Amino acid sequence: MEWERNILYGIGIRRSPLKKGKIWTVFLFLLPWLVSLVVLWYGPIIYTVVLSFMKYRLIGGGRFIGFKNYINIFQDRFFWLGLRNTFSFIVLYIPANFIIGLFTAYMLNLNIRLKGLWRSIIYVPAVLPVIAILALGKFIFYPYGLVNTFIEMIGLKGPLWLANPNLIIPTSVILMVWQCGTAMIVYLGALQAVPSQYYEAADIDGLGKSQQFFQITLPLISPAVFFRMIIDLIFGLMIFIPSLILPAGNVPGGPGNASLFYALYLYEKAFQRFNIGEASTLATILIIISFVITWAVIKMSKRYVYYEV
Amino acid sequence: MQKAIKILVLTILSLFIVMPLSAGGQKEAKEEGPVKLSFWHLWGGSRTPLIKKLINDFKADHPNVEFEVTFTPPNELQKKVVQAAGTGTLPDVFGMHTGWYVNLLPGSTLLELDSYLSKDSINLKKILVAADAERSYYEGHVYSLPNVCAGAQGLFFYNKGLMRKAGLDPDKDAPKNWDDFVKISKILVEKLNTPGKLDVIAWDPNQMAGQPALIVFSYGAGYPTVSDNGKTSQLDTPGVLATAEKFDQYIKDIYGSYGGYRGILEWNSRVAGADTGAAQVKAFIKEKQVFYVSGSWTIGQVKSGNPDLDLGIIPVPGFKGQQGGIAKNGWSYAISKNSKHKDMAWEFLKFITIDPAGNGEFCKAQRRPSPIAAVNDDPVYAAMGDMWTNLVAAMNMDIVPVAPDINQDILKPWLRDIPARRIAGESIDAIMKDISKQYQGYLNDIYQ
């Protein structure tokens, strides 16, 4: 059957597909994974959606209340504030991670000395726990931290990075981009996969380096850029830890709620206020937002991503 | 291939069958062995050896008891306890704050202790400090017993040495009301710093090592921050706003020439090292801060951090004169309703709460008042001199708010955020009104 062949082809069995009916053997071996997918992934998602229609507390159970949680959430200014802050982070984080990740990958793809060492140095922060990066970053951006000490050395007064509502998200982005090593590895792999003949032909045609980058390199690594964009987008929607660690005074979401990210508000609803019903509503809305944005990006990608060389 | 499939199917099926059986087997084995009590507590750091001693002392009299002890920091404990209560997995004995009763639905999750108390002829009101006896009850029943005294949460600690250094008499000039305090703060900051460089501060009203100063001073002035039934925030009422404005004015008057709020933030990063309530005590220990408001639990911390520091304790110099500590809720221990060893859990609970040989020693070792009234007459406390006398005076001056304790963990970060918001240009009134709205949102969730 056509669909059987497609599935087998999809999972890598290309040369000797199993006979008709043997597909169940494959499914049987896939069963443990499928069971865990349903039980540990789809199950909790469905349960969360169900809870979003309930007034539910951890102790004492719950009851169905229709769309009341949704109405409450849409009338809650912190829901909108959380969304705004999260998207502010995403709007800064995705381009920053792309530019710095690609720039470092590009540099490391050149013929430079101690290439392996440089790659390791740039990649190391990516394997450190985010919390360690942020704890260190907090000291760097303190009023008397490393950054302000340098600024003072040139005779200026440094800003309050962690106490200024306008600077807390950019500071979070700077520290999160510190972990651009993962993006760098992806881009480096993509850059190395670009056939050198293209550049040779471009040299003969007299194309400059910047033209080569925009007309050859970027289109050919666009699948990698697209992949990173989806990953960064999902990461951005779930961003949470910087708002717990960074703000001055250890104020989660501070200063002045400027870093109250959506996921932080969801966490507070569930585990500080124990309002599981509304927390589930926030989670359900986040799932829908993630799905819609990812779908839109995939749709748009058809115009900008080139899969064939 | 068919044989392989059969083997795979049989293996999976047998796993499904064997797993529950083996779990049941373990359960039976547990009950056959010695009594094993699970115990969650919140006393880390210098208190860890004291907890170990408590357990060992109890085990000496009950050799058949084994413990499974888990330490959880206080700020993590509520989440853990409520989740465990919701899933029926509370340990036999666990630490809790009596302010959490509303989240725990005690009737369905905690063991009611009334019958145990009457069986052992224990009258809590006779043996405990009044405020601690009172907070053990919820809706007329006892569900927990106090672990530490909650009667001395709002004390004013000060460094007598720094007072002398600034030319003040630490006893005579110890502030007795707010106006005194502002005057003395001005002298201290002026004398202990060089112009333009803030090295030693008098006090920071937005830092808090225990009860937020805003609550302490507001209650003292007769303005509760939450309604009697605990369901309505009063953080935006005129009395509480007036307290916030006085604190705001204090920052301007005392630290204006050092950059005001920004100066304090910079001082924090330079001196205290981290901007939390604990940092305030750290700065005090380093002798970079003259006053702080906190509970009696920090006495041991200060004494071990800087044995040479000449520590003074006075009642809070409130707007209407001296006021005592706020006592309503505090740390206690409770027993899970699902405990399999209720009698042994009760024996242990008594030891770590109302037994002078257990909890009494735990408190004495820290030089903090005990909820067991008789323990506080011990000579070890008298040896603390006027510090203890003043502390007892503050405790006896109790202002006990009738309302349930405002949830500090929720409110504190918002209050600590005031300096950043003031620097960003928000007015103190607008900030307080916003905090009140946020707090009301929290109360709505809790009491939904």
The pLDDT of residue B249:
97
**Cα-based angle B411, B295, B160 (whole degrees, multiple of 5):** 120
Q: Are residues B374 and B410 in the same domain?
A: no
The reply to whether B224 falls in a domain is yes
Alpha carbons A297 and A13: distance in angstroms, whole number? 30
User: Is-contact B281 B144, C-beta < 8 A?
Assistant: no
CA distance A250 to chain B (A): 6
The pLDDT of residue A112:
83
Determine, for residues A254 and B417 on separate chains, whether the beta-carbon distance falls below 8 Å.
Answer: yes
The reply to whether A64 falls in a domain is no
The reply to whether B415 falls in a domain is yes
The pLDDT of residue B425:
93
Q: Are residues A166 and A287 in the same domain?
A: yes
The reply to whether A58 falls in a domain is no
Q: Are residues A237 and A179 in the same domain?
A: yes
- ipTM (interface predicted TM): 0.78
CA distance A235 to chain B (A): 25
CA distance A156 to chain B (A): 15
The pLDDT of residue B398:
62
Q: What is the mean pLDDT of chain A?
A: 89
The reply to whether B349 falls in a domain is yes
The reply to whether A75 falls in a domain is yes
User: Where residue A133 falls among pLDDT bands split at 50, 70, 90?
Assistant: very high
Collapsing DSSP to helix, strand or coil, B222 comes out as coil
Mind listing the pLDDT tens digit for each residue in A3-41?
555 555 555 555 555 666 688 888 889 999 999 999 999
The DSSP symbol for B215 reads H
Determine, for residues B265 and A163 on separate chains, whether the beta-carbon distance falls below 8 Å.
Answer: yes
Determine, for residues B103 and A274 on separate chains, whether the beta-carbon distance falls below 8 Å.
Answer: yes
The pLDDT of residue B297:
76
- Contacts of range B122-131, beta carbons closer than 8 Å, 24 or more positions apart: B122/B350, B122/B354, B124/B354, B127/B354, B127/B372, B127/B373, B127/B374, B128/B354, B128/B371, B128/B372, B128/B373, B129/B369, B129/B370, B129/B371, B129/B372, B129/B373, B129/B376, B129/B395, B130/B398, B131/B327, B131/B328, B131/B398, B131/B400
Query: Which of B271, B275, B435 is the mutation pick for testing A, counting most A CBs within 10 A?
Result: B275
Q: Are residues A22 and A104 in the same domain?
A: no
How large is the average pLDDT for residues B278-283? 78
B221 touches chain A (CB under 8 A): no
For chain A, positions 131-170, list CB contacts with chain B under 8 A.
142-145, 160, 163-166
Collapsing DSSP to helix, strand or coil, A306 comes out as coil
Phi and psi at residue B26, in whole multiples of 5°? -60, -40
Q: Are residues A136 and A194 in the same domain?
A: yes
Q: Are residues B182 and B120 in the same domain?
A: no
The pLDDT of residue B24:
38
How large is the average pLDDT for residues A186-199? 92
Nearest C-alpha neighbor of B154 from the set B316, B280, B312, B278: B316
Strand order in the sheet with B65-71: B65-71, B35-41, B93-97, B331-335, B144-146
Contact list, B8 vs chain A (CB under 8 Å)? 28-29
Q: Are residues B136 and B187 in the same domain?
A: no
Q: Are residues A84 and A116 in the same domain?
A: yes
User: Where residue B55 falls among pLDDT bands split at 50, 70, 90?
Assistant: very high
* Domain CATH code at residue B136: 3.40.190.10
Contact list, A165 vs chain B (CB under 8 Å)? 420-421, 424
Element holding B312 (H helix, E strand)? strand B311-318
Domains in chain B, number: 2
Mind listing the pLDDT tens digit for each residue in A74-94?
999 999 999 999 999 999 999
User: Which structural domain, as residue segments, surrounds residue A40?
Assistant: 2-51
Tokens of A255: 């200063």
- C-alpha distances in angstroms, A308 versus A9, A225, A245? 19, 15, 44
How large is the average pLDDT for residues A268-280? 91
The reply to whether B294 falls in a domain is yes
The reply to whether B6 falls in a domain is no
Q: Are residues B191 and B231 in the same domain?
A: yes
**Cα-based angle B373, B379, B382 (whole degrees, multiple of 5):** 85
Q: Are residues B139 and B202 in the same domain?
A: no
B231 touches chain A (CB under 8 A): no
How large is the average pLDDT for residues A112-116? 85
Q: Are residues A11 and A106 in the same domain?
A: no
User: Where residue B23 falls among pLDDT bands split at 50, 70, 90?
Assistant: very low
CA distance B277 to chain A (A): 9
Contact list, A249 vs chain B (CB under 8 Å)? 206, 275-276, 413, 416-417, 419-420
Q: Are residues B280 and B161 in the same domain?
A: yes
Point out the least confidently predicted range of A191-205, B16-30, B122-136: B16-30
B276 touches chain A (CB under 8 A): yes
Query: Which of A18, A77, A250 is the mutation pick for testing B, counting most B CBs within 10 A?
Result: A250
Point out the least confidently predicted range of A181-190, B185-194, B262-271, B341-350: B262-271
Q: Are residues B314 and B334 in the same domain?
A: no
CA distance B44 to chain A (A): 20
Q: What is the mean pLDDT of chain B?
A: 85
Q: Are residues A180 and A32 in the same domain?
A: no
Q: Are residues B313 and B436 in the same domain?
A: yes
The pLDDT of residue A50:
96
The pLDDT of residue B355:
96
Tokens of B140: 């007329």
**DSSP per residue over A199-220, as a string?**
HHHHHHTT--HHHHIIIIIHHH
Alpha carbons B400 and B359: distance in angstroms, whole number? 24
Alpha carbons B448 and B439: distance in angstroms, whole number? 14
Q: Are residues B187 and B272 in the same domain?
A: yes
Contact list, B428 vs chain A (CB under 8 Å)? none
Residue B219 has pLDDT above 80, yes or no: yes
The reply to whether A65 falls in a domain is no
Collapsing DSSP to helix, strand or coil, B66 comes out as strand
Q: Are residues A86 and A223 in the same domain?
A: yes
Q: Are residues A282 and A199 in the same domain?
A: yes
Q: Are residues B124 and B200 in the same domain?
A: no
User: Which structural domain, as residue segments, surrounds residue B232?
Assistant: 155-326+393-446
Contact list, A145 vs chain B (CB under 8 Å)? 269
The pLDDT of residue B276:
56
Contact list, A76 vs chain B (CB under 8 Å)? 441
Nearest CB among B5, B85, B421 relative to A28 is that of: B5
The reply to whether A154 falls in a domain is yes
The pLDDT of residue A98:
95
* Domain CATH code at residue A264: 1.10.3720.10
Beta-bridged to residue B71, according to DSSP, are B41
Domains in chain A, number: 2
CA distance A253 to chain B (A): 9
A278 touches chain B (CB under 8 A): yes
Q: Are residues B376 and B407 in the same domain?
A: no
For chain A, positions 184-213, list CB contacts with chain B under 8 A.
none
Q: Are residues A45 and A78 in the same domain?
A: no
Alpha carbons B335 and B103: distance in angstroms, whole number? 16
The pLDDT of residue B251:
97
Q: Are residues B133 and B231 in the same domain?
A: no
- CB contact set of A98 (below 8 Å; sequence gap of 6+): A183, A225, A228, A229, A232
The pLDDT of residue B10:
45
The reply to whether B14 falls in a domain is no
Determine, for residues B269 and A143 on separate chains, whether the beta-carbon distance falls below 8 Å.
Answer: yes
The reply to whether B10 falls in a domain is no
Q: Are residues A123 and A176 in the same domain?
A: yes
User: Is-contact B398 B322, C-beta < 8 A?
Assistant: no
How many cross-chain Cβ pairs, A to B, lie less than 8 Å apart? 111
Q: Are residues A46 and A163 in the same domain?
A: no
